[in-house]
Amino acid sequence: MKAVSYLPWVVYAGFVILVSLWMGQQSHGWLPPQATAESVLIDDLFGFLVTLGTIIFLGVFGVLATAILTSQVSRFDLDDGPPIEGNVTLEIVWTVIPVLLVTWIAATSFNVYNQMSIQGPMEVVHLHHLGMEPAYAATLDETGQPIEDIEVNAKQWVWTFHYPKQNVTSTELHVPVDRRVRLALYSEDVLHGFFVPAFRLKQDILPKRTIDLEFTPILEGKYRLEDSQFSGTYFAAMQADVLVESAATYQDWLKRAAAAKPTPAFNQAYSEYYRGEPDKPVEVGWASVPPAKPPMVNQPTPQGIDKEVPDKKGIEKDMEQGNGE
């Protein structure tokens, strides 16, 4: 009889495990595309946490539902319940299980942390002591190819990316696919945050300090870089395009950018603040730090497009004349 009484719980436990594993697999579809090798590790960790969370949710739900359905009494029963002062076995179980779960989650997370080669505080300390070279100062990745070094500068409210080997500066981050990339993140003013959702990477950038961040892009495409920290009035405009390209496309872009003369880049915050009149900032009703001037960048002419591009006023004038006819 005991075996029969336990059978529903065994069946329900099997149901919980199957549903939880399925939920863990489905969780990958809730996230942006996996654009870096690190994103695969993060998504696997997220799926693991979703699986555990579903097990806990359905387990608690099953116990509550069973208690509600099997422990009912008559509406007019006014007797006291049985005097239960404690259950040592139950108390040990509900203490040990959470401890084991938290330890398991911590160990799994730490393993992912190590696989991503994220820098810890000691590596950051090494940056400020002469004669100490951090482990991530290597110039080759695990495949023997040179690591692509890019300097990232953050200031209110614009991102700029400098490629020191080619002396190219851009407001777009171009990176080669399947190559290790190392960013040297630097903030000129306040706390900023480098965050690309498709990369599953977020790194706070401390003012006046260089912080390295490494990743390996694995999916070609166009993604969006956002400032994850509130850095002032126009922080929502502090975004940039991130382009993961094939090696040939990447080298072609670098070659064309290196040949282009530096020109001022478009800066949305600067444009909104001054509205075309640098000496007369717009009155917003509150104090605001003036946005940085548009940076000088090497903007290559897109392939297949003539260098002579009509100005905006000329286009608007032509449209007005056309409407008048």
For residue 95, the model assigns a pLDDT of 94
The answer, yes or no, to whether residue 277 has pLDDT greater than 70, is: no
Give pLDDT, residue 1. Answer: 45
CATH code at 198? 2.60.40.420
At residue 71 the predicted structure's pLDDT band, cuts being 50, 70 and 90, is confident
Asked whether 163 and 175 are in contact (CB, 8 A), the reply is no
Q: Which residue type sits at 27? A: S
pLDDT tens for 260-276 read 898 888 888 888 777 76
pLDDT digits (tens, 9 = 90+) for 290-311: 788 888 888 886 654 434 333 4
- Do 198 and 293 reside in the same domain of the chain? yes
Cα–Cα dist 247/253, whole Å: 10
Question: 196 and 110 in one domain?
Answer: no
| More confident position, 146 or 85 | 85
Query: Distance (Å, rounded) from C-alpha 310 to C-alpha 298?
Result: 20
Across-strand partners of 155? 158
| Chain position carrying tokens 């049985």 | 82
Residue 136 has pLDDT above 50, yes or no: no
266 and 149 in one domain? yes
* φ, ψ (nearest 5 deg) of residue 111: -65, -45
Is 314 among the domain residues?
no
Confirm whether 308 is domain-assigned: no
Q: Is residue 321 part of a domain?
A: no
The residues, ordered by sequence, that sit 6+ positions from 280 with a Cβ below 8 Å of its Cβ are 274
User: Which of 66-80, 117-131, 193-207 reaches the highest mean pLDDT?
Assistant: 193-207
Is 105 part of a structural domain of the chain?
yes
Counted domains in the chain: 2
Q: Are residues 153 and 99 in the same domain?
A: no
**How many other CB atoms are there within 10 angstroms of residue 245's CB atom?**
18
pTM, two decimal places: 0.73
104 and 179 housed in the same domain:
no
* pLDDT grade for 119, boundaries at 50, 70 and 90: very low
Burial class (CB in 10 A: 0-12, 13-18, 19+), 243: middle
pLDDT in tens, 76-101: 777 877 787 888 888 999 899 999 99
What pLDDT sits at residue 123? 39
| Together in a domain, 101 and 223 | no
Beta bridge partners of 132: none
Is 37 within the bounds of a domain?
yes
DSSP 3-state assignment of 61?
helix
Task: Look at residue 125 and tell me if it is in a domain.
Answer: no
Residue pLDDT, tens place only, 188-236: 989 999 999 999 989 999 999 999 999 999 999 999 999 999 888 888 8
Residue 285 belongs to a domain: yes
How is residue 117 written in tokens? 């080669």
Residues 111, 136: one domain? no
Sheet holding 158-163, edge to edge: 168-170, 158-163, 148-155, 181-187, 211-215
Query: Both 152 and 298 in a single domain?
Result: yes
Residue 83 pLDDT: 81
Question: Looking at the structure, do residues 104 and 135 belong to the same domain, yes or no?
Answer: no
Same domain, 109 and 182: no
Q: Which domain holds residue 144?
A: 131-303
Shared domain for 194 and 100, answered yes or no, is: no
State the virtual CA torsion across 217, 218, 221, 227 in degrees, nearest 10.
Answer: -30
Kindly state whether residues 294 and 236 are assigned to the same domain: yes
Task: For the chain, give the mean pLDDT.
Answer: 81
| Residue 298 included in any domain | yes
